[in-house]
Amino acid sequence: MSQPQDIDGVLITWGDRLFYPGNRIVKGQPQPKLSALAARQRAAAIRKRIEATVIRRAPQVMVKVTGGGRGMKAIAAHFRYISKNGRLEIEDERGQTMRGKDALRELADDWRYGGSLIEDTSSRREAFNIMLSMPRGTDPASVEWAAREFAKAELADHKYVMVLHDHQANPHVHISVRAESKHGRRLNPRKTDLQRWRETFAAKLRERGIEAEATRQATRCASRYYPALWQVKASDDGRLLKPRQVARQGAVTQASRDAARSAWRRLAAAFAATGREVDRQLARAIEAFAGGASHRAVPEPARPIAGTKVPTQTGPVR
């Protein structure tokens, strides 16, 4: 029968591989040992994430980079779009709010001249458009708060504006961030950045008492196809003939899924060996979750975003 400290060690060893894959062990550099208290706390946090994932099936946050403006003309057009031409309140990085067409023109001038000059058209991306979304039924005020805290943490030193859209099926926040920071460094989000953004957004939602997760597809033993925004819009308009279903392929993808399944099996075996009924129930839930997941490409139900413009999509990270 496993002792509690044994379970803590298993949770940290295998839970880290599932939920914190960025924690890489570098050869030749010994890893610092956690104190007993720190180990218990980390194990408890991982257990909560396991329960949220395999038992409660907590909703997964969505963070997308939906495009970006190549010049002030495109950026100003996006300001008008996300604010419904000034009818919705728009908030900047200082927490100041504005509304109306005159405010939008002043905002565009501030971005145009606030740093390196942004011409009407540019050969490079001068802003990135980000959307943070949660499923239908999530408290819109909590989504807005979490998005605001996300922006403070991840987009510090950049000009940005955000607008909550709560008049559609799923509450979501549009953020437009100036690519050049106040110190002249340029934002260039990569896949690893986007996964960290999902983790940050989910963590902020949990601070508000909203259950949310940001686990990778491999961790969920899933291989799902998520329609691009143009497909969602075409489907809403009845113009989408047949969605293309493409499973993620390749040796790296398969290896990630196999590693996740192995980690889940280790965790299930450890919980089953404790002798406690609550742990045995969790072991069975893990086995059902990891063993019953499909490798087929299954289209994610399109979240209706009525009126969404067709953007250049850098891609959803799910």
Task: Name the residue with tokens 């504005």.
Answer: 98
Low-confidence winner among 82-91, 134-143, 263-272, 303-312 (lowest mean pLDDT): 303-312
Question: Does the pLDDT value for residue 302 go beyond 50?
Answer: no
Mean predicted confidence (pLDDT) in 103-125: 95
Residue scoring higher pLDDT (241 or 101): 101
Q: How far apart are CA 110 and CA 94, in angstroms?
A: 13
The segment(s) of the chain belonging to CATH 3.30.930.30 are 62-212
Which tens digit of pLDDT belongs to each residue from 208-259? 999 999 988 778 766 554 555 555 556 656 666 655 554 556 677 778 788 8
DSSP 109-120: HHHHHSSS---S
Q: Is 225 helix (H, G, I), strand (E, B) or coil?
A: strand
Question: Does the pLDDT value for residue 307 go beyond 80?
Answer: no
- pLDDT for the residue 313: 40
Q: How far apart are CA 227 and CA 235, in angstroms?
A: 10
| C-alpha dihedral sign at 247, 249, 253, 259 | positive
Under CATH, what is the fold of the domain 62-212?
Answer: BirA Bifunctional Protein; domain 2 (3.30.930)
- pLDDT for the residue 31: 53
Q: How far apart are CA 145 and CA 141, in angstroms?
A: 6
Low-confidence winner among 30-44, 83-97, 149-163, 183-197 (lowest mean pLDDT): 30-44
Q: Which two tokens stand for residue 183?
A: 């110190």
Query: What's the chain's Rg over C-alpha atoms?
Result: 22
| C-alpha dihedral sign at 32, 33, 38, 39 | positive
Q: What is the mean pLDDT of the chain?
A: 82
Could you tell me if 191 and 65 are in contact, meaning their C-beta atoms sit under 8 angstroms apart? no
- Other CB atoms within 10 A of residue 288 CB: 13
Place 311 in a pLDDT band, splitting at 50, 70 and 90.
very low
Residue scoring higher pLDDT (155 or 32): 155
Q: Is 155 helix (H, G, I), strand (E, B) or coil?
A: coil
**Residues near 173 by beta carbon (within 8 Å), at least 6 away in sequence:** 131, 132, 133, 143, 144, 147, 162, 163, 164, 165
Select from 169, 127, 133, 165 the least CA-distant residue to 150. 133
Percent of the chain with pLDDT over 90: 58
Which tens digit of pLDDT belongs to each residue from 178-192? 999 999 999 989 888
Could you tell me if 172 and 143 are in contact, meaning their C-beta atoms sit under 8 angstroms apart? yes
Q: Are strands 90-92 and 160-165 parallel, antiparallel or unpaired?
A: antiparallel
Q: Which two tokens stand for residue 287?
A: 């086995």
Q: How far apart are CA 173 and CA 205, in angstroms?
A: 13
Task: Name the residue with tokens 């890893």.
Answer: 31
- pLDDT for the residue 271: 94
Low-confidence winner among 134-143, 200-209, 220-229 (lowest mean pLDDT): 220-229
Burial of 132 (0-12, 13-18, 19+ CB in 10 A): buried
Q: How far apart are CA 246 and CA 227, in angstroms?
A: 10
What is this structure's pTM?
0.74
Task: Name the residue with tokens 């990778």.
Answer: 216
Q: How far apart are CA 168 and CA 305, in angstroms?
A: 7
| C-alpha dihedral sign at 168, 235, 192, 256 | positive
Could you tell me if 286 and 264 are in contact, meaning their C-beta atoms sit under 8 angstroms apart? yes
